[in-house]
With several copies, the nearest count.
Chain A
Amino acid sequence: MDLNFTESERAFRNECRGWLVANVPQGVLPSGDTRDGFARHLEWENRLFDARWAAVSWPREYGGREATLVEWLIFEEEYYRAGAPSRVTQNGIFLLAPTLFEFGTDEQKERILRPMARGDVTWGQAWSEPNAGSDLASLKSTARRVDGGWRLTGQKTWSTRAAFCDMAYGLFRTDPGETRHRGLTYFMFPLKGDGVTVRGVDRLDGDEGFAEIFLEDLFVPDADVIGEVDQGWRVAMQTTSSERGLSLRSPGRFMATADRLIDLFGRSEGADPTLRDQVVRTWMDAQAYRWFTFETVTRMMDGDSIGADSSMNKVFWSDMDVRTHETALALIGEALEFDEGSPSAVDGGHWMKGFQFSLAGPIYAGTNEIQRNIIAERVLGLPRK
């Protein structure tokens, strides 16, 4: 056990900190979940990629640095510490890319990864359907075999930022004779052109962060199938577990939020004494999440797969994030009502916006109820029925 960072890890941190200090845009960009904010964020993603910071853990040939998982965590700590913009390429880099690395062909990796990481081609996930949320396996969208490819028909929903993205990925039933987890195939498909209609849906916080996707006989070539036909469920599970796991929520984000909360507390005179304890708990939780993560990452670097443990991870960070923002709002008191853009809003109203964003945590990427079922059944071994 050595909980100090190595020489080279410290060097990595310094290089990364130096670049971020010099390059992070001044001031806050408009939300990446709005149309023009999305565009502004893509400019940033370009610079990030050109400096090879867009996907540090990727192989060099695709624009990465072959960083270790620890180095990736260091990058994330520095990234959030520097207050750098949120990553609108996230659904590609963190959700689709791991699947491509495991199941994709060389042609697919060659064609897709670099433009994805640079933000030249943007990706949204298309998992849920109106009647297939927690119960993903009940999805109804189909893919019909045609000459040289497939025709996709159906409806996807809660597709993050799909209103602005170029491409999406999701599951479609390729074997109409099969049900549930069988006979599904993993497709990549365009969000523009004939056969596809995208309708933006406004989120709780007012941003157009969601979209519904309507597909009608949309043609997709065989080259855009990932993994084997009818084996989509296995392929997708790899991605959803990375959605739940490390890749979506690295500790750096919560450590930065905890530091901002401590700063807010320092500015709150006469705050209720119970809130002092809440602020400390928030900081401690971010620390606990950090060390839990370093322990997990060490295990992964030793070759273990984390599997169902990622469900513990997801429940912890999502509940922590809600508590953190509730504490901030309690500190702000009556002024919490002043929303983004309101002259009297505290810290530009971003705590209320962050609170609303945090409320999505226990819901998406598998509700925390589903996660607790997984923990009980797969980690503790309790009976399913």
Chain B
Amino acid sequence: MRFAFTDDQKMLRDTVREVLQRECTPDVVRQVWEGQGEGAASVWGTLAETGVIGMMATEASGGMSMTEVDSVLLFEETGYAALPGPLVDTLAVGVPLLEAAATESQRDRYLEAAVAGELRVVAVAEGEDTVAYAITPDVLVAQRASQTYCVPWDEVAATAETSVDRARHLAKVSFEASDPHRMRNDVDHEALWALAKRRATVATSAQLVGLSRRMLDMSVAYVKDREQFGKPIGAQQAVKHRLADALIQQEFARPMAYRAAWSLATEAPSVEVDVSMAKAYASDAAKFVARQALQVHGAIGYTIEYDLHMWMKRVWALAASHGDAAHHRALIAEHIL
């Protein structure tokens, strides 16, 4: 039993952290709100250079054969930075699906580019039709009628939806399920997509943990600085206890996301329950932290000139996506009761 990351994993985390700190500033996120994706695109480009976007692909495909345990810390960092872009769909879903099910021509056309980070993938499973970050994708990977399709974005019919998190640029997608786009037939699509969904769920949980950490950092900085009644409001016990409770929820949610990543990487028998626990804790913790963060900020946090709202709204969206906390607790109930 050893619950810790390797130095290599932490080094990779630090690399990504520095990139995001330097390039994925709140202004970049704000620009995506306003429909300007250039800043975010260049962050994506720098991440691609580090090789992380294709990290889960095999060396043979130009990847690093890395696992969910390697990527979970990176998703946490992208949450911290509120990175706008389809990283979960590309890194955790698209690349592995392409490698597992791409035809020869699809490999040539898509896989290498996706691994290199030159191709943004958005994905929808059976019964789903909404994708996020629909301003910038290159290809849609979709599960339809127990088949998997890989459709260039210009052949996808997309109708825009407005997310409460304007950076997410939602769209409902449909396409003609034609043969040339169909992926290989000799694979178990159900199994592939079940795995893909779990990967997306854990990646999203990690982002929620990162979002929580950022909101808490913003709050701590604010309450140390903001003075009322002649002292920092952070000296008020009510503020201290709110933020202490926020920290506790976040710190107990975090290992659950790591644990789920490990269970995915090792195909542990408990993986279903572990994934659901990760999402349930990360969702509830992030919503709780958002609530405390806004309350200790007061009116300033209630404006869109201040950055906090972009993180809160990302939390509201992600906490409800890939199954909310109640949904996952209900799944767990079927296993343990």
Contact = CB atoms under 8 A, between A and B. Distances in A.
| Direct A–B contact present (CB less than 8 angstroms) | yes
B294 to A, nearest CB: 6
Contact of B1 (A70, A338, A343): A70
Interface residues on A, range: 35 or more
Nearest to B333: A280
Contact of A204 (B245, B256, B258, B309): B309
Interface string B243-273: 1110110011101101100110010100000
A371 B295 CA distance: 14
B255 A295 contact: yes
Given A131-B227, A359-B302, A1 B277 contact: no
B234 A382 contact: yes
A340 B259 CA distance: 37
Contact of A203 (B130, B172, B237, B302): B302
A231 interface: no
Given A133-B228, A203-B302, A291-B256, A363 B332 contact: no
A280, A299, A316 — which one has the most chain B CB atoms within 10 A of its CB? A280
A297 B2 CA distance: 9
A292 B255 contact: yes
Interface of B: 1-6, 69, 130, 159, 161-165, 168, 170, 172, 216, 220, 223-224, 227-229, 231-241, 243-245, 247-248, 251-253, 255-256, 258-259, 262-263, 266, 268, 277, 280-281, 291, 294-295, 298-299, 302-305, 309, 312, 316-317, 320-321, 324, 326-327, 329-330, 332-333, 336-337
B172 to A, nearest CB: 7
A47 interface: no
A9, A272, A316, A337 — which one has the most chain B CB atoms within 10 A of its CB? A337
A54 B97 CA distance: 53
B336 A2 contact: no
B159 A381 contact: no
Contacts of A362: 295
Interface stretch (A78-86, A92-100, A237-245, A372-380): A372-380
Contacts of B234: 376, 382-383
Contacts of B255: 288, 291-292, 294-295
18 contacts: A1-B6, A3-B266, A203-B304, A204-B303, A280-B329, A280-B336, A287-B277, A294-B1, A295-B255, A298-B1, A330-B324, A338-B163, A359-B294, A363-B299, A380-B220, A382-B220, A382-B240, A382-B243
Interface of A: 1-6, 9, 70, 128, 131, 133-135, 138, 157-158, 201-204, 206, 210, 262, 265-266, 272, 274-277, 279-281, 283-284, 287-289, 291-292, 294-295, 297-299, 302, 312, 315-316, 329-330, 333-334, 336-345, 352, 359-360, 362-364, 367-369, 371-373, 375-377, 379-385
Contact of A295 (B3, B243, B294, B337): B3
Task: Give me the 9 closest cross-chain CB pairs, A-B, nearest first.
Answer: A376-B240, A342-B162, A375-B244, A135-B228, A372-B244, A382-B234, A295-B3, A272-B326, A339-B164
B237 to A, nearest CB: 7
B244 A337 contact: no
Contacts of B321: 334, 337
Nearest to B261: A1
Nearest to A297: B3
B60 to A, nearest CB: 25
A337 B316 contact: yes
A9 B333 CA distance: 30
B337 A279 contact: yes
B305 A340 contact: no
Contacts of A339: 162-164
Contacts of A210: 299, 302-303
Nearest to A343: B161
B62 to A, nearest CB: 25
Contacts of A379: 244, 247
A301 to B, nearest CB: 8
Judged by DSSP, the binding face of B is helix
Contact of B168 (A138, A312, A337, A385): A337
Nearest to B326: A272
B264 to A, nearest CB: 12
Nearest to A157: B299
Contacts of A364: 299
A1 B243 contact: no
Contact of B298 (A277, A315, A330, A367): A367
B244 A380 contact: yes
A300 B172 CA distance: 49
A362 B293 CA distance: 13
A73 B336 CA distance: 23
A34 to B, nearest CB: 14
A377 B303 contact: no
Given A283-B336, A372-B245, A382-B220, 9 more contacts: A287-B277, A298-B4, A337-B163, A337-B317, A340-B162, A376-B234, A376-B240, A376-B243, A383-B235
B252 A338 contact: no
A287 B133 CA distance: 35
A9 B170 CA distance: 49
B238 A341 contact: no
A297 B268 CA distance: 22
A376 B244 contact: yes
B4 A299 contact: yes
Nearest to B164: A339
Given A131-B227, A298-B2, A383-B234, A292 B220 contact: no
Contacts of A315: 244-245, 248
Nearest to B4: A298
A330 B6 CA distance: 38
Nearest to B276: A284
A333 B256 CA distance: 23
A336 B228 CA distance: 36
A284 B337 contact: no
Contacts of B333: 276-277, 279-280
Contacts of B245: 315, 372
A281 B329 CA distance: 8
Contacts of B229: 134-135, 138
A383 B225 CA distance: 10
B241 A376 contact: yes
B29 to A, nearest CB: 16
Contact of A134 (B164, B172, B298): B298
